Chain A
Amino acid sequence: MGPPALVLHPTQRGLLGVSFSLLSGNPKLKRWPKDPKVSNFYIMEVGEMALPTFRKGVHPPHGKGHTEECPVQWIDPGSELVFPMAQHIGAPCKPLVKKGDRVLVGQKIGDNDAYVSAPIHSSVSGIVKEVSQRLVASGAMDTCVVVENDGQYELDPSISPRPDWEDLPADEIRRIIREAGIVGMGGACFPTAVKLTPPPDKKVDHVIINGAECEPYLTCDDRLMRERGDRVLLGLQIALKLFPQGVKGVVALEDNKPKAIEAMRGYLDRLAIQNVTVQPVRTKYPQGAEKMLIYAVTGREVPAGGLPADVGCIILNVRTAYAIWDAVVNRMPVIDRIVTVSGDAIKEPKNLGVRLGMSVRELIEACGGFSVEPLKVIMGGPMMGVALSDLNVPVVKGTSGILAFSEALARLGEEENCIRCGKCVSTCPMGLLPYQLNAEVLRRNYDEFERLGGMNCIECGCCAYACPARRHLTQSCRDGKRTILARRRKGGA
């Protein structure tokens, strides 16, 4: 049952959307031929309303077929686990343990009093081998606590189910979330407790679970929703309690995950939850970007430079909601996660359940190692992930995937002249002019970069993905943003 005729979803306000709606009442646009890689044509199907989405964006081949039917397989860590003290946006943690200390599973080993921060917990029991500078995914050296795993997995005594969890006051829930070290586990790693504490003048009426998983290849959120969707929904219920009556919960998923959509609807029925709906959204990258998802679900635009709370929305990743449930109900901090290990250079792509602090090398070995020599290994997805220079880096809270690509898939062409094809402009979901931002950064004209709105760039990578001249558009926007931020900090100090 679609909505009544002539009620347009805000994302269909365009000229075409309006005319199709007038013609048919209930439009559904379908790409034809179906493969978005080769087709720019839409045919209209009358009957059901088109799924909501955002403007522009790209359709990279999603490559999820390698792992979407692989149930999560839990693996045991080796002897050494490395916990970087900076796994989140905000102030890095200070180590709370020193060489020779014995630590337990779930014991806090790093924290910081700063408001925007999240503590780090050990994922195994054992002896602290050293507190030293180690290589992390970004390619930099960072302070890490290194724990020698004793294989006992002895739980910290503080961890036990909380029988009275349904009666906790809001502030206590926020404190629990902070103490459990919960951050946005989709990859952004913003401390969740801070996110769940919007300024008092913002009235939050939507808490949206981000199950879009728009990055190609990644299926960890898909699997979590299918296998443990009930806990995700309970986590969402807990988050909803933090906001005034009438707040709505939404689980938003791309329609390329029909089984997850079905599963979440099933869990919703079984748990008899009333104030939460499952909202499929169109499969398009970057559908999972906060601003794009809010627009698809509510039709509201987060103001430039603003936060989701400005339009009454809070977005939580699937795994973040799960972590909230785990922390509140079981007193369990963030010590593990699901990681998709995939790519054409991986022998047996899998979804692995791993303890944080394991090295990327262990994960790849658990998948049978490399089938061909990889040219590139990425932590995260192919659109926004970080290319690793070394496999001996630890899995952290934001590690959603480890992807290894052979030369065939990872080779990037040489940069050529901009041919002004306009593909960067017609794909940028933020409505920016990437070709011009690129030119300004190359000229080191950062004032102009800022004037053109370059700071709105969300670094989704659509422009560089679409660029036929293989120009480093996203990279130059990154350069521009970093330079301007550094300049502001200098100016302010």
Chain B
Amino acid sequence: MNRLLVVSSSPHARDELTVRKIMGLVLIALLPAGVAGVYFFGLHAFWVIAVCVASAVGAEALWQRLNGRKVTVSDLSAAVTGLLLAYNLPPDISLFMAAAGSAFAIIVVKQLYGGLGKNIVNPALAARAVMLTSWPVPMTTWSLHGVTGPTPLALLKGVEGTGSLPPLIDLLVGNVGGCIGETSAALLLLGGLFLMWKRVITWHIPVVYIGTVAVLTAILHRPSGISMGPLYEILAGGLFLGAFFMATDYATSPMDHSGQMVFAFGCGLITTLIRFYGGYPEGVSYSILIMNLTVPLIDRYFTPRIFGAKREVKS
């Protein structure tokens, strides 16, 4: 033996999941839905995805270098943010807007708050909200096979445009107008199940979120009078993308499973309220952003019971 032994505090064994592996698995899980987006919306969607990811990674590297911090783009979290933002953009968005939004997500929403794990809202969703107010028209122009038209949720709302609602199978496969990544519910479900299998996420947030929307849309009635049933409601729009990939974002969701379920219920409630009674046809982004802000509060009250202790309310 010619080297000294390493001495450290136990445990000496570590799980194989690292931050980098987790982010890599999320990228893999998101891949099929992106392929569907490019297939249905055309090559421009691919360039939007590429520009968003490159801009996010570049912005993070540049920011950290300029601030003399350790460059951490190799943990792949910036790539995930870029990819998620791209998935939340219309397929025909200009590449400049995509790049600007992605840089905003990383620099303003993530790095200014202290970097990975410190941001209080989901960077991709916050950037999307900013883009929606900055460029309202390009951000709400949807096209499918080169034809501009309303999304299924806009049709359900009954306020915008006319046309016939696509059949349920098109929502599953992805042959409908909408954001790049939200189009195929089936492939998003596949990705979500993959993440559960790989222990990256648990069932609590997606099941409660989607379940809440299903139950509420079954009970409540749209003011437009159009009703397609809860299954259609949960498959339409960005609910699966939001429930499996955005609401489950570690940094901006509660720590304990009990809190996660409360959080997910809130997301489902707000999503349904916006979809049915709000000004926008879709409410997934804003519901998650609003619930992100409640996480510190939820974390304070929804903690596990200490083994052997009686439940007491923490203040």
User: A residues engaging B (CB < 8 A)?
Assistant: 37-41, 55, 58, 60, 139, 216, 291, 295, 301-306, 370, 373-378, 380, 382-390, 403, 405, 409-410, 412-413, 416-423, 425-426, 428-433, 435, 453, 456, 459, 461, 464-470, 472, 474-475, 478
Are B6 and A456 closer than 8 Å at their CB atoms? no
Distance in angstroms between the alpha carbons of A302 and B309 in the assembled complex: 9
The residue on B at minimum CB distance from A63 is: B13
Are B197 and A422 closer than 8 Å at their CB atoms? no
Can you name 9 A-B pairs with beta carbons within 8 Å?
A38-B197, A373-B2, A377-B5, A387-B12, A419-B250, A433-B304, A461-B11, A464-B14, A466-B15
Select B306's contact among A370, A390, A430, A435, beta carbons within 8 Å: A430
Q: Which residues of B contact A216 (CB under 8 A)?
A: 13
Are B5 and A432 closer than 8 Å at their CB atoms? no
The residue on B at minimum CB distance from A433 is: B303
Distance in angstroms between the alpha carbons of A469 and B16 in the assembled complex: 11
Chain B nearest CB from A357 CB (Å) reads 21
The residue on B at minimum CB distance from A300 is: B308
Are B306 and A431 closer than 8 Å at their CB atoms? yes
Are A301 and B307 closer than 8 Å at their CB atoms? yes
Q: Which residues of A contact B22 (CB under 8 A)?
A: 419, 421, 468
Are B199 and A422 closer than 8 Å at their CB atoms? no
Q: Which residues of B contact A403 (CB under 8 A)?
A: 12
Are A431 and B307 closer than 8 Å at their CB atoms? yes
Distance in angstroms between the alpha carbons of A377 and B75 in the assembled complex: 30
In the complex, B255 has a CB within 8 A of chain A: yes
Interface string of B107-128 (1 = CB under 8 A from A): 0000000111110000000000
Are A302 and B308 closer than 8 Å at their CB atoms? yes
Are B117 and A465 closer than 8 Å at their CB atoms? no
Interface string of B247-268 (1 = CB under 8 A from A): 0001111111100100000000
Distance in angstroms between the alpha carbons of A306 and B252 in the assembled complex: 36
Are B308 and A306 closer than 8 Å at their CB atoms? yes
Q: Which residues of B contact A433 (CB under 8 A)?
A: 255-256, 303-304
Q: Which residues of B contact A464 (CB under 8 A)?
A: 11, 14
The residue on B at minimum CB distance from A384 is: B10
Distance in angstroms between the alpha carbons of A390 and B15 in the assembled complex: 27
Q: Which residues of B contact A466 (CB under 8 A)?
A: 15, 17
Are B197 and A383 closer than 8 Å at their CB atoms? no
Q: Which residues of A contact B304 (CB under 8 A)?
A: 425, 428, 431-433
In the complex, B133 has a CB within 8 A of chain A: no
Distance in angstroms between the alpha carbons of A459 and B104 in the assembled complex: 42
Q: Which residues of A contact B306 (CB under 8 A)?
A: 304, 430-432, 453, 456
Are A40 and B199 closer than 8 Å at their CB atoms? yes
Are A416 and B75 closer than 8 Å at their CB atoms? yes
Distance in angstroms between the alpha carbons of A301 and B196 in the assembled complex: 31
A41 and B197 in contact, given A291-B307, A383-B11 (Cβ under 8 angstroms): yes
Are A426 and B250 closer than 8 Å at their CB atoms? no
Distance in angstroms between the alpha carbons of A419 and B72 in the assembled complex: 13
The residue on B at minimum CB distance from A139 is: B7
Q: Given A375-B5, A435-B255, 15 other A-B contacts at CB below 8 A?
A: A40-B198, A376-B12, A380-B10, A385-B10, A387-B10, A388-B5, A389-B4, A417-B114, A419-B77, A419-B116, A420-B250, A422-B260, A429-B307, A431-B309, A433-B303
Distance in angstroms between the alpha carbons of A470 and B8 in the assembled complex: 13
The residue on B at minimum CB distance from A476 is: B9
Closest 7 CB pairs of A and B: A461-B11, A475-B9, A431-B304, A304-B309, A382-B13, A304-B308, A419-B117
Q: Which residues of A contact B137 (CB under 8 A)?
A: none
Select B13's contact among A301, A418, A465, A469, beta carbons within 8 Å: A465
A413 and B14 in contact, given A41-B196, A304-B308, A433-B303 (Cβ under 8 angstroms): yes
In the complex, B19 has a CB within 8 A of chain A: yes
Distance in angstroms between the alpha carbons of A433 and B301 in the assembled complex: 12
The residue on A at minimum CB distance from B118 is: A417
Chain A nearest CB from B10 CB (Å) reads 5
A58 and B15 in contact, given A304-B306, A429-B307 (Cβ under 8 angstroms): yes
Q: Which residues of B contact A380 (CB under 8 A)?
A: 10
Chain B nearest CB from A90 CB (Å) reads 22
Select A425's contact among B3, B10, B256, beta carbons within 8 Å: B256
The CB with the most chain A CB atoms within 10 A, among B1, B13, B14, B115, is that of B13
Are B11 and A456 closer than 8 Å at their CB atoms? no
Distance in angstroms between the alpha carbons of A412 and B80 in the assembled complex: 25
Chain B nearest CB from A361 CB (Å) reads 10
A456 and B309 in contact, given A410-B12, A468-B17 (Cβ under 8 angstroms): yes
Select A387's contact among B5, B75, B196, beta carbons within 8 Å: B5
Are A405 and B12 closer than 8 Å at their CB atoms? yes
Interface string of B71-85 (1 = CB under 8 A from A): 010010100000000
